[in-house]
């Protein structure tokens, strides 16, 4: 069954461009395209959306507020921010709100399909520059209050895996880079979730960035 994609983008040309792109691939189905997130809860439910491609700056309800609203009722839907904004504040707010990935609009079309596949597989795709920024934020213990809090007594290995998770690495890539099995990676991640008292990847990334855990 094709992956159902819904687009939220106020620029008509860009919205139509993304729509055409999705229609060119038989593995995906364009479920709908809208100029803002005013009715995001009803839209995503009615259209049975699997993935949302979301702009940030839109009239009415913007992308970040849209993510916050949908996350109150749906923690499973995948949300990829596609935006011109690459500043710390927007990156942090989007991730904190519950975005699954963050790409710049100049991202090549093929990379957008890669990103959709990545989020469906549990990854957190980011444009290279955004990923580097996230790593800098982590290194500095970035949060709105710039306070570092308890890390749940994570081991050195768990912190290493957590950093890779936040940077968008898949379980398979983490396992290969650390020369361990995917099963071992999953076991470490289970312990990380338990220690930090989170239940979803979005919650994990949000807490990590907010509290400067690694």
Q: Which CATH class name applies to 143-211?
A: mainly alpha
Question: 56, 81 in Cβ contact below 8 A?
Answer: yes
Length of the chain counted residue by residue: 214
What is the pLDDT, as a whole number, of residue 30? Answer: 97
Print pLDDT tens along the chain (214 aa): 899 999 999 999 999 999 999 999 999 999 999 999 999 999 999 999 999 999 999 999 999 999 999 998 888 899 999 888 766 678 778 888 888 888 888 888 888 998 898 888 777 788 777 776 666 665 555 544 444 445 668 999 999 999 888 777 778 888 899 999 989 998 998 899 888 888 777 677 767 776 777 7
What is the pLDDT, as a whole number, of residue 44? Answer: 95
121: Cβ contacts below 8 Å, ≥ 6 apart? 170
Counts for the chain of helices (H) and strands (E), in that order:
10, 5
Question: 161, 175 in Cβ contact below 8 A?
Answer: no
What CATH topology corresponds to 3-136? Rossmann fold (3.40.50)
SS3 content of the chain, % helix, strand, coil (to 5): 50, 15, 35
What is the pLDDT, as a whole number, of residue 33? Answer: 97
What is the pLDDT, as a whole number, of residue 92? Answer: 77
DSSP character string of 32-91: EEES-STTHHHHHHHTT-SEEEE-SS-SSS-HHHHHHHHHTT-SSSEEEEEES--SHHHH
The full set of domain ranges for the chain reads: 3-136, 143-211
What is the pLDDT, as a whole number, of residue 77? Answer: 94
């Amino acid at each position: 069954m094709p992956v159902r994609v819904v687009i939220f983008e106020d620029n008509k040309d860009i919205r139509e461009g993304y729509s055409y792109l999705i229609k060119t691939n038989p593995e995906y189905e364009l479920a709908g395209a809208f100029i803002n997130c005013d009715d995001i809860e009803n839209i995503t439910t009615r259209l049975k959306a699997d993935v949302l491609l979301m702009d940030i700056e839109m009239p009415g309800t913007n992308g970040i507020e849209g993510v916050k609203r949908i996350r109150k009722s749906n923690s499973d839907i995948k949300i990829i921010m596609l935006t011109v904004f690459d500043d710390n504040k927007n990156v942090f707010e989007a991730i904190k709100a519950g975005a699954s990935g963050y790409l710049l609009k100049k991202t090549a079309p093929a990379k957008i399909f890669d990103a959709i596949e990545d989020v469906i597989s549990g990854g957190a795709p980011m444009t290279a520059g955004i990923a580097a920024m996230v790593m800098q934020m982590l290194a500095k213990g970035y949060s709105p209050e710039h306070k570092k809090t308890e890390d749940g007594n994570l081991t050195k290995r768990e912190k290493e895996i957590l950093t890779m998770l936040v940077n968008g690495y898949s379980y398979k890539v983490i396992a290969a880079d650390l020369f361990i099995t995917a099963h071992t990676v999953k076991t470490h991640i289970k312990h990380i979730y338990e220690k930090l008292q989170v239940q979803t990847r979005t919650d994990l990334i949000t807490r990590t960035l907010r509290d400067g855990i690694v």
